């Protein structure tokens, strides 16, 4: 198995598979209503909807950086707003944007060769990171925010 296939497997596990660390991002989001997604049960903390929009932004941005093999700006703002009183359609749309960005990231990952994983891309602030580190960081990002979502759901 190629290393890029292994990384794609880790992305899938973190997003909607059998993650070693616990429930995947999608399992954590399952059953969340639009009202719950918009709620702010803790002052100064992002809502579930904001976290989903943030994850979609970063999955799309990383996919673009992998496709271009260079630094690219954020595809959207880092923390896009989520409606304060959304209907279920708006919530489903936010989740679909995340799903689409994830599928694009998987496709970009699987298109890479193992050798290209050592390609360095410039990050904001001037540091460089390999595509290998960037892709592993994406899986970690999914699970980091899945943990936050799980905690928010406990407070709802």
SS3 content of the chain, % helix, strand, coil (to 5): 65, 5, 35
Q: Assign residue 55 a region (left: φ > 0; alpha: ψ between -120 and 50; beta: otherwise).
A: alpha
Average pLDDT score over the chain: 94
CATH number belonging to the domain at 3-155, selected among 1.10.260.40, 1.20.120.450, 3.90.180.10, 3.40.640.10: 1.20.120.450
Find where tokens 């950086």 sit.
65
For helices 3-16 and 131-155, angle between their N-to-C axes, nearest 10 degrees: 10
| pLDDT at residue number 86 | 94
Nearest CA among 11, 114, 6, 118 for reference residue 62: 11
Q: What is the mean pLDDT of residues 1-14?
A: 97
| pLDDT at residue number 74 | 61
pLDDT-based confidence at 83, cuts 50/70/90?
A: very high
At 31-60, the pLDDT tens digits run: 999 999 999 999 999 999 999 999 999 999
At 84-120, the pLDDT tens digits run: 999 999 999 999 999 999 999 999 999 999 999 999 9
Whole-angstrom Cα distance, residue 15 to residue 98?
10
pLDDT-based confidence at 122, cuts 50/70/90?
A: confident
């Amino acid at each position: 198995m190629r290393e890029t296939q292994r990384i794609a497997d880790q992305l899938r596990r973190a997003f909607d598979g059998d993650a070693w660390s616990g429930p995947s991002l999608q399992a954590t989001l399952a059953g969340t209503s639009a009202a719950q997604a918009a709620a702010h049960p803790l002052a100064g903390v992002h809502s579930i909807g904001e976290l989903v929009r943030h994850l979609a932004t970063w999955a799309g941005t990383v996919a673009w950086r992998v496709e271009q093999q260079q630094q690219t700006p954020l595809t959207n703002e880092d923390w896009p707003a989520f409606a304060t009183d959304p209907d279920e359609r708006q919530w489903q749309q936010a989740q679909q944007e995340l799903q689409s960005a994830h599928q694009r990231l998987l496709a970009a990952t699987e298109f890479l060769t193992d050798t290209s994983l050592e390609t360095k891309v410039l990050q904001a602030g001037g540091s460089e990171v390999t595509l290998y580190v960037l892709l592993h960081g994406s899986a970690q990002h999914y699970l980091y925010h899945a943990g936050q979502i799980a905690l928010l759901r406990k407070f709802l």
